[in-house]
Structure 1
Amino acid sequence: MGQLLCYTCVEQSDVALLETCGKYVGTAGPGCHCILPWTSKAGTLSMRLYEHNIHIRSKTKDNVFVNIRLTVHVQVIPGRENSAFYSVEAPLKVIQSYVENCVETKIPLYNLDALFIERGTISQQLKSETDAVIEGYGWDIVSALITEIDPGAAMTEAINSIQKNQRLRVAVVDEAETKKMRRIRAAEAACESRRLAGRGLAEQRKAIVAGLRKSVTEMRQDVPGLSNEEVLNLLMINQYYDTMKNVTENSSGSLLFMEGATGLQSYSRDLRNGVAQVMR
């Protein structure tokens, strides 16, 4: 960039501000320009997007001090170069002052947890409230982003500990509910098993009774003149041999012998009485 006699050159994305006898008369865009000898270049402005990082420390509604980092993007408003150049000497410092003031009034309205959630809302409010003032200086806030919220190492550790305890509490409750459901399902399964076992036992007994009735009927038809007692004795002997056979087939089975003839007679009498009642 340079100036020689009545020529001036302006770099790309820059705008030169021209003065005649100290008075602003216009701007010159990128390129080489021929100007009058009494016209001078007062300075240049970049039309590029500026990025400015701002650090703010403030206190939340629940009395937690946080360090806020904002990234503000600003740009000269096209056609307002004279205001941007002549209105303020250090535009970025002025913008930072307005942004800091706006943020410091917003942070105390939120608790720490809500601050993380509403950071986007705060950024929008920040831009809308500061734009009205900054535009008067020829600058435009393109975006204002809250890029970091740091409550400090001690507070972060405390928050993580609280979250950990809450998750552990939820895990304990879930585990207890799971065990409860397992016990309920096991009890329901046991109840259903007993019900089905009872039904099976009842069906088995019905089949035994039907078999006994059929055996007695067939035996009377095949051997006329047999009394009920004789038929029952024959059935009992048959059952006795079947039992002995089953016991011998199972190596781990055990056999109980009744004591003496009296005990066997009593057992036989009880068995005959029971079968007779069933047959009725």
Structure 2
Amino acid sequence: MDLIIYAILGLLALVVLLGTFFTVKQQTAAVVERFGKFTSMRQSGLQLKVPIIDKIAGRINLKIQQLDVIVETKTKDDVFVRLKISVQFQVRREKVYDAYYRLQNPHDQITAYVFDVVRAEVPKMKLDYVFEKKDDIAIAVKRELNEAMMDYGYDIIKTLVTDIDPDIQVKAAMNRINAAEREKTAAEYEAEADRIKIVAKARAEAESKRLQGQGIADQRREIARGLEESVDVLNNVGINSQEASALIVVTQHYDTLQSIGEATQSNLILLPNSPQAGSDMLNNMIASFTASAQIGEQMKKTNANKEEKVKQSSRSQRDKESGYDDDGLEDGWIE
């Protein structure tokens, strides 16, 4: 019998001991009630309470928490879009009583305010501006939540618009527009590059032709100067200009034949290549020069005769208009 009494007393002592001491974790607050009435708020560490009479009604998390809210709404240009709003909030230590007793479900309360603000702000904007002004939407949500939740002991740390997801068909259309713009820009750059290449090539060809023509002109000038010097040298030794020209033509003719013969794998044949070729070419040139000179002299004489006839006709017309006859006497007078 005594053993049973001791066991009961020991059990009661254990219950009293366990009901007296309790611990509160870091960044947590414990709400203590006595017979259903709030008595105190306990912070982290080892705490005491009256066993059986006092009880822990609940614990409040004092850490920064995050609530993700997905809102579907319509923009000003009638595009449905889904926005993900991340709300970071924290219970204020001096407002633990309000946070525990005044709100039944703070997450639902915050979600309701986020829906209200987003659906009031986004319909004022076009889809492109929603992407550009997402920070403005986040600021509006934070401002509204701070005003509403401050009285309930909650502090809104930050709000973020973490995702903007338009309707899948709208997203595909936007991607096509973006791709078309990029293709257009790429085509413009490619066309500009081709134009630059064509202009550069044309300038290079023009410069090449100019230099080639200048080289040919310089070459012919030097050849003419060399021929002139050769003719002067031959004249000094008693060879007249016609003989000197024939000698130069024949010499160049045979120099050309020699250079062709020295070249390997050459299919070029110089025609005519007989010994009289040089003389024939020279005679033909001299005959052409002589005929050209004769034609030029004849044309000069013809032009001079025409000019003389025109002058005589003009003098006769002036004499008739002034009243003198062909003998130089005035009409009606006989000398």
TM-score range, shorter chain: 0.7 to 0.9
Task: Verify the 8 A CA contact 1:47 1:76 in the aligned structure 2.
Answer: yes
1:34 to 2:48 alignment: yes
Name the SS of the counterpart of 2:94 in structure 1. Answer: coil
Of residues 214, 221, 233, the one that matches 2:229 is 214
What is the rounded CA distance, in whole Å, between the counterparts of 2:56 and 2:281 in structure 1? 135
What is the rounded CA distance, in whole Å, between the counterparts of 1:132 and 1:123 in structure 2? 14
Shift of 1:26: 3.2
Shift of 1:81: 0.7
2:254 alignment partner AA: Y
What is the rounded CA distance, in whole Å, between the counterparts of 1:272 and 1:12 in structure 2? 124
1:173 to 2:173 alignment: no
Residue segments in structure 1 that go unaligned for 5+ positions in a row: 275-280
Task: Verify the 8 A CA contact 2:246 2:278 in the aligned structure 1.
Answer: no
1:44-83 paired onto structure 2 within 5 Å: 44-83=59-98
Of residues 104, 109, 115, the one that matches 2:119 is 104
Relative to 1, partners in 2 of residues 1:127 and 1:206: Cα closer, same or farther, differing over 3 Å? same
Relative to 1, partners in 2 of residues 1:89 and 1:271: Cα closer, same or farther, differing over 3 Å? farther
Task: Verify the 8 A CA contact 1:7 1:35 in the aligned structure 2.
Answer: yes
TM-score after normalising by structure 2? 0.72
Residue segments in structure 2 that go unaligned for 5+ positions in a row: 1-14, 290-335
Task: Verify the 8 A CA contact 2:29 2:43 in the aligned structure 1.
Answer: yes
1:92 alignment partner AA: H
1:257 to 2:272 alignment: yes
1:239 to 2:239 alignment: no
56-65 or 113-122: which moved more?
113-122
Which stretches of structure 1, 4 residues or longer, exceed 6 Å deviation after superposition?
261-264, 271-274
Name the SS of the counterpart of 1:63 in structure 2. Answer: coil
Counterpart of 2:27?
Answer: 13
Name the SS of the counterpart of 1:79 in structure 2. Answer: helix
What is the rounded CA distance, in whole Å, between the counterparts of 1:26 and 1:256 in structure 2? 128
Per-residue CA distance 1:229-268 (angstroms, 9 max, x = gap): 1111111111111222233344132323299x89973654
Higher helix share: 2
2:155 alignment partner AA: D
- Name which one, 1 or 2, has greater alpha-carbon Rg: 2
Counterpart of 1:140?
Answer: 155
Counterpart of 2:239?
Answer: 226
Of residues 122, 146, 149, the one that matches 1:131 is 146
What is the rounded CA distance, in whole Å, between the counterparts of 2:166 and 2:24 in structure 1? 47
Task: Verify the 8 A CA contact 2:250 2:278 in the aligned structure 1.
Answer: no
236-245 or 29-38: which moved more?
29-38
Counterpart of 2:131?
Answer: 116
Shift of 1:125: 2.9
Shift of 1:112: 1.9
Shift of 1:141: 1.6
Task: Verify the 8 A CA contact 1:75 1:140 in the aligned structure 2.
Answer: yes
Task: Verify the 8 A CA contact 1:232 1:272 in the aligned structure 2.
Answer: no
Task: Verify the 8 A CA contact 1:51 1:73 in the aligned structure 2.
Answer: yes
Per-residue CA distance 1:19-75 (angstroms, 9 max, x = gap): 456554431112222235655433221112222121110111221101112222211
RMSD across aligned positions (CA): 2.8
Relative to 1, partners in 2 of residues 1:10 and 1:215: Cα closer, same or farther, differing over 3 Å? same
What is the rounded CA distance, in whole Å, between the counterparts of 1:145 and 1:151 in structure 2? 18
What is the rounded CA distance, in whole Å, between the counterparts of 1:81 and 1:141 in structure 2? 15
What is the rounded CA distance, in whole Å, between the counterparts of 2:272 and 2:211 in structure 1? 33
Relative to 1, partners in 2 of residues 1:262 and 1:143: Cα closer, same or farther, differing over 3 Å? closer
Task: Verify the 8 A CA contact 1:258 1:264 in the aligned structure 2.
Answer: no
Counterpart of 2:321?
Answer: none
Shift of 1:174: 2.1
Identity of aligned residues (%): 30
TM-score after normalising by structure 1? 0.85
What is the rounded CA distance, in whole Å, between the counterparts of 2:277 and 2:54 in structure 1? 145
What is the rounded CA distance, in whole Å, between the counterparts of 2:239 and 2:287 in structure 1? 15
Task: Verify the 8 A CA contact 1:233 1:272 in the aligned structure 2.
Answer: no
Higher strand share: 1
247-256 or 207-216: which moved more?
247-256
